[in-house]
């Protein structure tokens, strides 16, 4: 069997608290492994913009001020993962967010003979993240983005993602990376952690 055949498929998920630079790192990971970074927010916006059948459903829900239900989010993700560019790997950002979504993703991938291979968790001290976001809000003149509001978003993130993180930890998929530092420093930590797990960047894969 050739090295290409034995190469682990980079099917990743990235999680991290608001302000940890998750979106920036997601873009870099995607470039390193030659895979699409798939964000639920981007999918929603693309479908709404293109006025697809799913997009029209999402727009109606969002216009009414309601949350997009798991069933519709799952449908959008399923459609996106079946596109050609995701055949050899992907990086999910913002999905799954509930245990029901975890179960759907498991079943969807299993039906394709696939599975999630690693979950990158950006870990950062809560107080340092809050301070970083507070300074950013001040710099951008966002006076309504108070420390209380920022801490509330951190609390919501922790509450929502804790069960997911523990599930992936139990499956030995969790790759914890220190999310504090420069973009390059954090990126190098992620690369080292994934390389240690046996994943090869596209530039060095043979």
| Given 7, 57, 97, 151, the catalytic residue | 97
Q: Concatenated DSSP letters for 71-116?
A: HHHHHHHHHHHTSGGGTT-EEEES---SHHHHHHHHHHHHHTT---
| Given 136, 169, 171, 197, the catalytic residue | 136
| Given 49, 135, 142, 197, the catalytic residue | 142
| 70 contact partners, CB below 8 Å, separation of at least 6 | 98, 100, 101, 104
**Catalytic residue status for 153:** yes
| Given 11, 22, 134, 189, the catalytic residue | 22
Strand order in the sheet with 37-39: 37-39, 90-93, 11-15, 118-123, 174-178
**Catalytic residue status for 136:** yes
**Catalytic residue status for 97:** yes
Which H helix or E strand runs over 123?
Answer: strand 118-123
| Given 57, 59, 151, 153, the catalytic residue | 153
**Catalytic residue status for 7:** no
**Can you tell me the distance from the alpha carbon of 126 to that of 111, in angstroms, rounded to the nearest whole number?**
38
- Nearest 5°: phi and psi at 24? -65, -45
**Catalytic residue status for 197:** no
CA distances, 7 to each of 26, 112, 195 (Å):
21, 18, 12
- Catalytic site positions: 22, 97, 136, 142, 153
């Amino acid at each position: 069997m050739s090295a290409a055949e034995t190469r682990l498929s980079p099917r990743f998920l990235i999680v991290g608290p608001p302000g940890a630079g998750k979106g920036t790192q997601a873009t870099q990971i995607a470039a390193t492994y030659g895979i699409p970074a798939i964000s639920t927010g981007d999918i929603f916006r693309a479908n709404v913009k293109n006025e697809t059948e799913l997009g029209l459903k999402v727009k109606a829900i969002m216009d009414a001020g309601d949350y997009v239900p798991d069933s519709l989010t799952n449908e959008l993700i399923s459609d996106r993962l079946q596109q050609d560019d995701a055949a050899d790997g992907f990086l999910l950002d913002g999905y799954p967010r509930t245990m029901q979504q975890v179960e759907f993703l498991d079943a969807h991938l299993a039906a394709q003979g696939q599975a999630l291979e690693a979950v990158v968790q950006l870990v950062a001290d809560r107080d340092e993240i809050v301070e970083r976001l507070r300074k950013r809000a001040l710099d951008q003149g966002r006076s309504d983005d108070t420390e209380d509001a920022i801490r509330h978003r951190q609390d919501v993130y922790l509450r929502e993602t804790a069960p997911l993180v523990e599930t992936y930890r139990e499956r030995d998929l969790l790759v914890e990376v220190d999310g504090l530092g420069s973009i390059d420093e954090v990126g190098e930590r992620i690369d080292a952690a994934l390389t240690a797990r046996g994943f090869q960047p596209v530039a060095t894969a043979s």
